[in-house]
Amino acid sequence: MNGFALYLYLKEKNPSIKILFMTAFDIQLEEFRDNVPGVQIDDIIKKPFIVDDLVM
């Protein structure tokens, strides 16, 4: 199971769950939205990151 599939599975079980995506790979927004519709761009944090980036 990849991260996209896990996201969809968890959202199906609990639609209000908050999920954080972290990646070291450069992914195009269009490709990301094709796999996980409805996710906003501010839901993606790319590595490297600082701890302050995780505080919302």
User: How many distinct helices (H) and strands (E) make up the chain?
Assistant: 2, 2
Query: What's the pLDDT at 29?
Result: 74
Whole-prediction pTM value?
0.60
8-54 pLDDT, tens digit each = 899 899 988 888 777 777 777 777 778 777 776 666 677 778 888 77
Find the length of the chain.
Answer: 56
| CA 15, 36, 10, 47 torsion-angle sign | negative
Q: ω before 48 within 30° of 0 (cis)?
A: yes
Note the pLDDT of residue 42: 64
pLDDT of residue 27: 73
Helices marked H in 1-56: 3-13, 29-35
Question: Is the model's pLDDT at 2 over the cut of 80?
Answer: yes
Q: Is the pLDDT of residue 3 over 90?
A: no
